Amino acid sequence: MNALGSYIALTKPRLLPLVLLSGLPALVMAAGGWPSADLVTVVLLGTALAAGAANVFNSYLERERDARMERTRTRPLPSGVLRPVHALLFGLALTMMGTSLLWLVAGPMAALVALAGILFYVFIYTLWLKPRTPACVIIGGVSGAVAPLIADAAVHGAIGVAGWTLFAIIFVWQPPHFWSIALYHRREYEAAGFPLLSSRIGEDATRRRIVLWVAALVPITLLPAALSLPGPVYAVAALGLGGWFLYHAVLLERRRDDPSACRFFRVSLVYLMSLFGAMIVDLLCRVGAV
């Protein structure tokens, strides 16, 4: 991997499409139609830079723990491809670029929300909670769900119903998603010193908790339609996808093996991307864009 590829890898680019996919429908719902191309471009770019910055800081702070895990030891910092100080400077540069871009074009509130998301992820989640408690997965979900808040703030200068509703969906989706990762990578996380929910309450209880969180998520995904933000196309898709997601959560609870945990993790990604994809299609139909 060349130097440019190594720096890009620090931002964990595979996570960014979900961030952007959650910000776009919030923009359309908050604006009541399709916003200007300039605003869409700036908000999504600024959000991506802020999310990338948070991931770079996370990579910097967890480089020693990453070196203890098979799945992460080849990353640029634990493998020695990049020097830690260069990664830190890169994260600071992304933070400045992302927040400055949002401040200048989308307004101070959008920039401050993005900055708060970075600070929460770095200091509350990575430094304080993650090494100490499995509750980090729930509380840390705040930083993983800020993209809709940034988008709403960019339109209104404040956070309204659209932003908070999409925030709630991502916030409740994240724990079962990450608990499934921890189930099939549990030995590596334990070797790295991360406290796991399955170590505290047992693997079977963790699987049951995943089912409960997914069951709670389904009605939350219907809130946007109940508030007439998107319409019936989204509502039908949310019900169907929710049933499919819950089915896989029940399979995970019943089969109790690593392949099922790995499969559920992948299903969770497809689920959320499909959910927001359906929301975007519905919104575009309503504003006459398709």
Cα-based distances in Å from 255 to 182, 189, 214 = 16, 22, 17
First vs last C-alpha separation in the chain: 40
Domain that holds residue 43: 3-286
Q: Which residue has the higher pLDDT, 156 or 103?
A: 103
- Count structural domains, the chain: 1
pLDDT over 60 (residue 289): no
Q: Give the pTM.
A: 0.93
Q: What per-residue confidence (pLDDT) applies to 257?
A: 85
Q: For position 189, what pLDDT does the model report?
A: 78
User: Which DSSP string do the residues of 262-284 spell out, in sequence order?
Assistant: HHHHHHHHHHHHHHHHHHHHHHH
Specify the 3-state DSSP secondary structure of 196.
coil
Give the pLDDT band of residue 290 (cuts 50, 70, 90). Answer: very low
- Which tokens hold the place of 93? 């540069």
Mean pLDDT of 30-57: 92
> Percentage of the chain with pLDDT > 70?
98
Residue 223 reports pLDDT greater than 50: yes
Residue 7 in this model has a pLDDT that exceeds 80: yes
Residues 247, 215 contacting (CB under 8 angstroms):
no
CATH number at residue 136: 1.10.600
The 10s digit of each residue's pLDDT in 123-143 is: 999 999 988 898 888 998 899
Q: What per-residue confidence (pLDDT) applies to 288?
A: 60
Classified as helix, coil or strand, 241 is helix
